[in-house]
Amino acid sequence: MAHYASKIPRENFSCLTRLDHNRALAQVAEKAKADITHVKNVIIWGNHSGTQYPDVSFATVNGKPVKEVIPDEKYLHGEFLTTVQKRGAAIIAARKASSALSAAKAIKDHIRSWFLGTPENEWVSMGVLTPGNKYGIDENLCFSFPCKCKDFKYEIVNGLKWDEFSKGKIEATQKELQDERKDALGI
């Protein structure tokens, strides 16, 4: 859309990965037996699809790193990822209907964070058009990043370092988005 609506500022385009972000927060809170408001800085990298990468590498529960609170790498790299990635499909299969209320809440949360801002030292996941070559992601992909917000402006969090597992997951979701972009612009 941004490609064909070039008169609209690029920073006004975003996509909703907040639904996935909220689902990841809930999964961490449930596993950690913590209140969801005490889970901070979970990230959804990439696409709103089965290749998205829900990342807890920088997340905390009650101020402690998630990987200390949930020291189960097999869970964090397995069941946690697939539960977040496939939650929408699981809801549709179980209810025979979409999770419209969850999506509506995510839209509200997305706009609220974008408009009112994020608390100091906290970020949310937002799908935004990649500026330059941020984190090695192709320019102009609508890609989910960790963002800080203030005064209806967002800023991608800088300087996070990925481990090899994360790099592989992020490369896969970027490849899917590159293919989608190629298909969309090829019409």
CATH (domain of 62): 3.90.110.10
Most confident of 14-18, 56-60, 83-87: 56-60
Position 43 in a domain: yes
Percent of the chain whose pLDDT exceeds 90? 73
Give the whole-angstrom CA distance, residue 41 versus residue 39: 7
Per-residue model confidence (pLDDT) at position 89: 52
DSSP secondary-structure letter at 12? G
Task: Kindly state whether residue 5 falls inside one of the protein's structural domains.
Answer: no
Is 3 within a domain? no
Task: At 144, list the tokens.
Answer: 């989910």
Convert the pLDDT of each residue in 112-162 to its tens digit. Answer: 999 999 999 999 999 999 988 799 999 889 999 999 999 999 999 999 999
Query: Residue 98 has what pLDDT?
Result: 60
Mean pLDDT of the chain: 91
Residue 67 has pLDDT above 80, yes or no: yes
| pLDDT of 4 above 70 | yes
Note if 38 is an active site residue: no
How many folded domains does the chain comprise? Answer: 1
Residue 98 counted as domain residue: yes
pTM here is: 0.91
Is 185 within a domain? no
Establish if 150 belongs to a structural domain. Answer: yes
Q: Output 125 or 101, whichever has higher pLDDT.
A: 125
What's the CA gap between 73 and 172, in Å, rounded?
Answer: 20
Distance CA 101, CA 112 (A): 16
Rounded CA separation 142/176 (Å)? 12
For the chain, state the CA radius of gyration: 16
The per-residue b/e assignment along 53-63, b for 16 or more CB within 10 angstroms, e otherwise, is bbbbbbbbbee
Please indicate, yes or no, if residue 4 is contained in any of the structural domains: no
**What residue numbers bound the domain in which 76 lies?**
10-180
Please, are residues 85 and 47 in contact by the beta-carbon 8 Å criterion? no
Say how far apart CA 108 and CA 114 lie, in whole Å: 10
Q: Is residue 186 part of a domain?
A: no
The residue from 3, 21, 38, 48 that is catalytic is 48
